Structure 1
Amino acid sequence: MKWNLPRYSAKDHLILSFFVGPFTISINSLLLGSRYFSDWSVFFLATVVAAADFSIGFIICLMIGVWLRRLFKGEEGIGVRLLLMIFVFLIMTIVFLLILFYGYEWIPFFHYQFDDLSFAWACIGTGIYVVFITFLIEGLARYEIWKNKMKENEQLSRMNRQSRLQGLKSQVNPHFLFNSLNSLSSLIDTDEDSAEKFLDEMSKVYRYMLRTEEESLVSLAAELNFIGSYYYLLKERYGDGLLVEIDVLPADLDKCLPPLTLQTIVENAFTQNVMMKDQPLMIRIGRDQEGLVIRNNVQPKTITEDQDVESGIDNLVTRYSLLHQAQIRILDSRNEREVKVPLFKPQKSAAL
């Protein structure tokens, strides 16, 4: 059976293992003197008793420390938390030293009598131990938090790069380029103004992707502007087979979301559904109490087994979880898919 300590940091068990030996030897040397080393029966029993006393006290202090960390969270609470931890731990140290000293006196085998001077020195020495251990476990805990944040940032960066790659792949695959260039060629012959507009919207799509390369969040306004350009290109490709409606609150435009979020959802919709003039794919981007809601009617088309049509959505869900935002919710019914996307509070660093 595995013994699980209250967890203040990942190295708590190592700290206990490292300090239990020096504490046990120093305390028993102070209390029992040379008898501790000359009599093996005394050495064994005293070592077990002192080690058990230290270990139990250590575990109880860890439990108190974990509770104080939950009570005083973040950078603003660290000073008060450390002061309270040291104060409480010192009180606990005195209590457990009293238990140990009187325990030795109560066990006739040790032939020990309580000594005030020895107790005072034990309190001073163990108190130094306690202060050092307190700062050590706090430092290790903060290092662990920092390392986890670095790992999450690295994962988020990787997911963002993967998302941008998927977005670019959807735009630069041969089929898309063929249709886009074919549309552009037709427009050049028939309507130069429309051809110029098409080329301008296409450049906006790529410019947005490149500009948000290092951004973890963008404003909803920027994302909707991008979707406008992206929809323009798709409209030339699918005509009246694809319709996108946007109805969001002006107050939400400054809120944020990961870049290419809407593009991922829109692409997922037209990848999985049939689009025809008499059966258009309707994509509605709206709002409810939870955030954005993207709905599309379901008109499933035949998809081969080697097509991973949900990879983009899976990527998006992972990015949201790494950003510690409320989870994306996907609700499927027979006739409609609904994707609920939470919005972040406005941030100065978000791309505009």
Structure 2
Amino acid sequence: MEKLNDKWFRLIGIPLIALLGDWIFYDEINRQHGQSFWLDVGVGVIESSLLWTIARFGIIHSRRRFPALNQTRQRIGFQIVWFFVTTALFRFLTSFLYDMTQFWGYHYPPMRYVYNIAAGIFCVIPIAAIYEGIYLYRQWKVTYYEAEELKKINLQTQLESLKEQVKPHFLFNSLNTLQGLVLEDEKQKAVSFIGNLSHVYRYLLQSNEQPLISLERELDFVRSYIDLLKTRFENGLNLLIEIDPVLLDYQLPPLTLQMLVENAVKHNVVSSTRPLTIRIYTDMAYNLIILNNLQQKKTAVPSNKTGLVNISAKYRLMNQPDIVIQQTQFHFQVIVSLLKSETV
């Protein structure tokens, strides 16, 4: 939670509340008893400062306890109870002190206590409304701009994914593989290859229209994507999927697995003599883990890590745990959280 930066609000608000409070509620009765106006205002400033500090403490505590935009009702409810209880207690004690000492030159009847408590609450309400209004506006502003940024990242991911798939070398490799299957009279493999290619493009076009997609659909797509790659790499590429069936309905940003699989193939040697094995599995903490053996190419492949950056940004903008990237001498691993639909 950000710091409550209200220095100028207090410097202006406290004297203003003291002046208005004295003029509206106490000026007439104090003049009847010969009290100085400036004494009234001076005491009012002291009381207003104390009452403002007490109210401010409640506001800070309520924001720490209920900080989110969807917790506005709880936060306001907490503040209402806090303001009424603390203001009533504070005004009762000050009224009792004035009554016992006859500070203002007269005794306080019971209704005077009620009047003072009501006056204190009347002064606190606009202060609290201004604080909460500013807080809600800032929260709405942050939420709005985060949503806009998420839209931009989704669009960027979509464009990057499409660009990666339609760029010349991918089309050349795909068509070259298909030509080889036809020339070798591998009709069944050619039909399967065309089906997988169609599935890949259809998924790329449809999935990017939504922020989240089920793990089951993402895995179905990745199998088709891997089959395309296996047609090219054959026994050089292996995919192991070990998913708890209970988690298939959980969700993640679309194309997360595709980008991670693509990243593994792009940066590692893939051959029948040195096969690349990609393992996709889940753990007890509802995490999805993508692990591959590390056998980096001798010539580093240029990369701006757009895939990992986009995945990480999406999770952060949804207020979810960031992805975890771990690399050892032999393995490269990425851990992403699986989400229930109601958590986002």
Length-normalised TM-score, structure 1: 0.79
Whether contact under 8 Å (2:55, 2:124) holds in the other structure is no
Structure 1 residue 294, shift from structure 2 partner: 1.1
The letter for the 2-side match of 1:298 is L
Distance 1:346 1:86, change over 3 A: closer
Structure 1 residue 299, shift from structure 2 partner: 0.9
Which residue of the partner structure matches residue 232 of structure 2?
237
Find the partner of 1:228 among 215, 223, 229. Answer: 223
Unaligned runs of 5+ in 1: none
Which residue of the partner structure matches residue 131 of structure 2?
137
Give, in whole Å, the separation in 2 of the partners of 1:253 and 1:20. 58
Map 1:171-320 → 2, pairs under 5 A: 171-190=165-184, 191-290=186-285, 291-302=287-298, 307-320=302-315
Give, in whole Å, the separation in 1 of the partners of 2:333 and 2:68. 36
Structure 1 residue 150, shift from structure 2 partner: 2.2
The structure with higher relative contact order (CA 8 Å, sep 6+) is 1
CA deviation digits over 1:6-25, x for unaligned, max 9?
64xx7x55654553243121
Distance 1:132 1:234, change over 3 A: same
Give, in whole Å, the separation in 2 of the partners of 1:286 and 1:321. 22
Give, in whole Å, the separation in 2 of the partners of 1:253 and 1:5. 38
Distance 1:195 1:295, change over 3 A: same
Tell me the SS of whatever aligns to 1:341. Answer: strand
Unaligned runs of 5+ in 2: none
Structure 1 residue 336, shift from structure 2 partner: 0.7
Distance 1:55 1:235, change over 3 A: farther
Tell me the SS of whatever aligns to 1:282. Answer: strand
Moved more, 222-231 or 294-303: 294-303
Coordinate RMSD, CA, aligned: 3.8
**How many percent of aligned residue pairs carry the same amino acid?**
32
Moved more, 60-69 or 201-210: 60-69
State the number of aligned residues: 335
Give, in whole Å, the separation in 1 of the partners of 2:329 and 2:244. 29
Structure 1 residue 321, shift from structure 2 partner: 1.7
Give, in whole Å, the separation in 1 of the partners of 2:177 and 2:2. 66
Length-normalised TM-score, structure 2: 0.80
The letter for the 1-side match of 2:289 is V
Give, in whole Å, the separation in 2 of the partners of 1:303 and 1:276. 16
Structure 1 residue 70, shift from structure 2 partner: 5.0
Give, in whole Å, the separation in 1 of the partners of 2:236 and 2:183. 24
